[in-house]
Amino acid sequence: MALIKTTEEIEKMRKGGALLSRALQAAADAARPGTTMKKLDEIATRVIEEGGGKPSFRGYKGGGTKPFPSTLCISRNHEIVHGVGDRVEVLKEGDIVGLDIGLWFDGLCTDMAVTVPVGSVSKERLALLRTTRQALYSGVEAALVGKKISDISAAIEDSVDQKKFGIVKALVGHGVGHAVHESPHIPNFRSTKFGDMELKPGMCLALEPMITNGSDDIETSDDGWTIQTVDGSYAAHFEVTIVITEDGPEILTPQPNITL
């Protein structure tokens, strides 16, 4: 897998990213009280397949033996990421729901996520969503040619008030394009664990801060996929795929239009 994507590959990812964004917008628009998770998954699947794409999460094993069953990862309230999206669970007023989605389009992969309020939610939960979304964009702004992965990590970390919020440290962003997950690892905090790398034109990265309003300790639920907070605190997750260019970072998967 080439770390630097060609102009042709980036154009394919740009088209795939636009389709992925439409699918996520449709699912986000439908995330209202009384709607089931399964319904959101069906909506996103339909948009992707009608647009000529293929869901990249459905059937994905991630190094294990149990394939993921749905197009969307749907994670509600204390669930952080990888929530199984084909559950017939009804969304309730005041929930916050993470919607994570990926697709293959013309042989290339893109990835994105948003966390949406369901109906009217508390000020505390809105603050969590706004903090996580701002952390994402702070990381994007730092993704400049000549800078390093560590500059993205520092920008994300510095945008979060860690007296109020926890940055999940067991999960990180990643490269994307030829596979669902590629190198490099992109932590949302300062770390020497993953090494470092200079940012160069043509690199395609999935930035995805995951923030809680409590501890950053996590566990996997009994379904083998859903990752949730140990202390029951709420979590938010925002993600975009970007390409590094000489003119600055370009978001290939525009975030859905939601009001926070």
- For the stretch 227-254, pLDDT in tens is 999 999 999 999 999 999 999 999 999 9
In this structure, the dihedral spanned by the alpha carbons of residues 68, 114, 220 and 55, taken in order and rounded to 10 degrees, is: 10
Q: pLDDT tier at 13 (50, 70, 90 boundaries)? A: very high
Per-residue HEC secondary structure of the chain comes to: CCCECCHHHHHHHHHHHHHHHHHHHHHHHHCCCCCEHHHHHHHHHHHHHHCCCEECCCCCCCCCCCCCCCCEEEEECCEEECCECCCCCECCCCCEEEEEEEEEECCEEEEEEEEEECCCCCHHHHHHHHHHHHHHHHHHHCCCCCCEHHHHHHHHHHCCCCCCCEECCCCCEEECCCCCCEEEEECCCCCCCCCCCECCCCEEEEECCEEECCCCCEEECCCCCCEEECCCCCEEECEEEEECCCCCCEECCCCCCCCC
pTM: 0.97
* Whole-number Å distance between alpha carbons of 7 and 164: 42
- For the stretch 61-108, pLDDT in tens is 876 678 999 999 999 999 999 999 999 999 999 999 999 999 999 999
Q: What is the pLDDT of residue 236?
A: 98
Q: What is the pLDDT of residue 2?
A: 82
- Residue 26, pLDDT > 90, answer yes
Q: What is the pLDDT of residue 97?
A: 98
- Residue 144, pLDDT > 80, answer yes
* Whole-number Å distance between alpha carbons of 98 and 101: 10
* Whole-number Å distance between alpha carbons of 141 and 196: 18
- For the stretch 179-199, pLDDT in tens is 999 999 999 999 999 999 999
Residue 158 neighbours by CB distance under 10 Å: 14
Q: What is the pLDDT of residue 66?
A: 85
Q: What is the pLDDT of residue 45?
A: 98
| Cβ-based neighbours of 252, under 8 Å, separated by 6 or more | 10, 13, 14, 16, 17, 110, 204, 240, 241, 242, 243
* Whole-number Å distance between alpha carbons of 155 and 150: 9
Per-residue HEC secondary structure of 185-203 comes to: EECCCCCCCCCCCECCCCE
- For the stretch 104-140, pLDDT in tens is 999 999 999 999 999 999 999 999 999 999 999 999 9
CATH class of the domain at 7-251:
alpha beta
The residue ranges of every structural domain in the chain are: 7-251
* Whole-number Å distance between alpha carbons of 114 and 66: 25
Q: What is the pLDDT of residue 151?
A: 98
On whether the CB atoms of residues 72 and 26 are closer than 8 A, the answer is no
Mean pLDDT of the residues in the chain = 97
Q: What is the pLDDT of residue 62?
A: 77
